[in-house]
Amino acid sequence: MTLERWRGITEWPLIVASLLFLVTYSIQVIVDPRGELGALLEDLLWVSWGTFLIDYIVSLVLAPRRWHWFLTHLFNLATVVLPMLRPLRVLRVVTLLAVLQRTAGRAVRGQIVIYVTSATLLLVYVASLAVLDAERAGGGSITTFGDAIWWAFATITTVGYGDLAPITLEGRVIAVGLMLSGIALLGVVTATFASWIVEQVSAENTSRQAATVAHVDALRAEIAELRTVLARTDPGPRAADSAAPTTATAPTAAKTDGSDPRASKN
C-alpha cells in the first residue's frame, strides 16, 4: 500500500464523511434534538471524526518522509483537532469538476473564483453553526441561526457593525479565524479582478497589434500591385529611348569610313 493509492481509495469516503458531519452538525445545532435522535447524531459525529483520524494516521505512516508530510499537511491535522474545519473537505469536489478545464487561461481563474466562492459560503455557514453553538450555551447575544448568519457575513467581509459579538472564548476564537479568512478572501478577490483587467488590456493590445500588421500587409500588397502596373505601362517609352542612340550614331559611322559627304555630292 502506497500513499498515492491510499489517497485514491479514501478520496470519496472522506467527502462523504464531510457531508455527514455537515448535515449532522447542522441538525444538532439548529434543531437541538433530544433523546434518541440526539444520541444518534452524536454517534454520527464520532464516526465522521474517526474517519478523519484513521485517514490522518494511515497517511502519516505511509508517507515516505513523515516529518515533511506532517509539516506540509497541517490542515489535515486541523480537520482532526478542530471539528468546524471538517466540512471544508467537501471543497475537494470542486477540484474534481472537469467542466472547469475547458480553456487553459480562463480555467485557472474560473476554478479560483468557484473555489473561493464555495469556500466562503461554506465557511460562513459552518462558522455560523459553530458560533451559535458556543454562544447559546454560554449565554451570549447570538441565540438564533439568523443572527449567526448575519454576524458571520459582517465579520468575514470585515464590516463589523458591532451589533452582535461573541462573548465566549470559543466564539471569539471562531471570530478570529473568520476575520483572517475575510482578509484572505479580499486578497484573492482583488488579485483575481486585477488578473482579469490585465488580461483584457493585453487582449486589446494584441488585437490592435494584429490590426496594425494587417494594415501594413495590405499596404505592401497595394505597393506591389502598383509596381506591377507600372512595369506593364513602361516598355513603350523605354523602347523609344533605346532606339534613339542608334540613329544618332549613323553619321559617326560614315565619318569613320574616311569618306566626305560633300565629295559624294560633287
What pLDDT score does 233 carry? 79
- Is residue 242 classed exposed, middle or buried when 0-12, 13-18 and 19+ CB atoms within 10 A define those classes? exposed
pLDDT < 70 stretches in the chain: 83-112, 207-208, 210-211, 234-266
Task: Indicate the length of the chain as a whole number.
Answer: 266
What pLDDT score does 194 carry? 77
What pLDDT score does 74 carry? 82
What pLDDT score does 31 carry? 87
What pLDDT score does 167 carry? 92
Contact 132, 105 (CB under 8 A): no
What pLDDT score does 58 carry? 92
What pLDDT score does 100 carry? 37
| Grid cell listed for 265 | 555630292
